[in-house]
Amino acid sequence: MNPIAGRGRAQKAKPLILKALLEYDCDVHLEETKEPNHATEIAQKAVKAGFDLILVAGGDGTINQVVNGMAENPIPLGVLCCGTGNDFAAALKMPKDPIAGVRQIMEGEISKVDLCQVNNRYFVSSVGAGFDGEVAFNVNNGFRNVGGMTAYLLSVFKTLFSYKARKVKLTVDGLVMEFNSLLVAVTNSSTYGGGIKVNPDARIDDGFFDVCAAQKMNILEIICCLPLVVAGWHQNLKKVKLLKGRDITVESNHPLYYQLDGEVLMDNVLRFSLLPQSLLIKGGKFEPVSTFMLSEVKSACAREA
């Protein structure tokens, strides 16, 4: 549990969460994070101790830390909505009420979702490079006391006046594009920033990354496009390209800010890889990809190549 996630939402829900878990006659051990990356250490200890299920009460950042401590181990993960954005929880169709979330996890089935990597770091929801990275930086350094999409949009308007576009080389399954970039978002889930539909067709279990690549825009263009991105209606914009792929690289001569499930990092080269259906999730609700849908995705990727 991250006690400060969602402006203290997890801490307030703690007694109710524990009470709900004890209704299932299970042995519960609670650990609260005390510092950055503490959740990774807790998850590593939980794996070694042989726990049957790891629950996370926090946001995407806390989930990211836990996954980096338990990834590729056959232990299921349960996610409770207690963060600011909760985009991964939304992709799993977890209820916003953490008590209802406990019931869904404890009574639900185990499913498999894709596990993602960038520069040897695991992530579950999204990576956004360029403008997105600086927006996340400003969220973390000025808007943490504001919730979800509101924090993201406030940071967007702050970043508008300071962001400098960078020339990037984007490679998606061999397809190479070079352009002055506003942003490159590589996601597993369809939303980020608390519900912004940056890659509206993304699925967390289809074995593909979804990529939104946007060319440099002026301030007026960004303001006009923003409502379309929020609603997921930006696929027909001339300066925006949506793609699917498995082997993604983003390169720049200048260091890029990028957000990884909300955590802000910086690098010149981002190399993405995918481990299809390698993360066990308890209680998530989503329909598996049909054979027809998968063949359509593969055909689309082949056409792009």
pLDDT of residue 291: 44
Is-above-0.85 flag for pTM? yes
Task: Decide which of 108, 142, 160 is a domain's last residue.
Answer: 108
pLDDT of residue 6: 78
Residues 88 and 141 in one domain: no
- Whether 210 is covered by a domain: the verdict is yes
**pLDDT in single tens digits along all 305 residues of the chain:** 999 887 788 899 999 999 999 999 899 999 999 998 999 999 999 999 999 999 999 989 999 999 999 988 999 999 999 887 799 999 999 999 989 999 999 999 999 999 999 998 999 999 999 988 888 787 777 665 665 677 777 878 888 888 888 899 999 999 999 999 999 999 999 998 889 999 999 999 999 999 999 999 999 999 999 899 999 999 999 999 999 999 999 999 999 999 999 888 999 999 999 999 999 999 998 765 544 444 554 554 555 54
End-to-end Cα spacing for the chain: 44
Residues 54 and 161 in one domain: no
Q: Which two tokens stand for residue 17?
A: 């969460």
pLDDT of residue 194: 85
Residues 97 and 144 in one domain: no
- Whether 282 is covered by a domain: the verdict is no
Residues 143 and 263 in one domain: yes
In the chain, how many domains are there? 2
CA distances from residue 107 to 110, 128, 299 in whole angstroms, order as listed: 10, 34, 37
The Cα–Cα gap between 13 and 109 comes to 24
- Whether 118 is covered by a domain: the verdict is no
Find residue 81's DSSP bridge partners: 58
- Whether 16 is covered by a domain: the verdict is yes
CA distances from residue 150 to 141, 146, 196, 228, 229 in whole angstroms, order as listed: 15, 7, 11, 16, 14
- Whether 115 is covered by a domain: the verdict is no
CATH number of the domain within which 216 lies: 2.60.200.40
Residues 82 and 171 in one domain: no
| 3-class DSSP state of 234 | coil
Residues 186 and 241 in one domain: yes
pLDDT of residue 211: 98
Residues 39 and 153 in one domain: no
Helix (H), strand (E) counts: the chain: 9, 11
Find residue 269's DSSP bridge partners: 251
- Whether 116 is covered by a domain: the verdict is no
For 28, the domain range is 9-108
CATH number of the domain within which 83 lies: 3.40.50.10330
Residues 18 and 129 in one domain: no
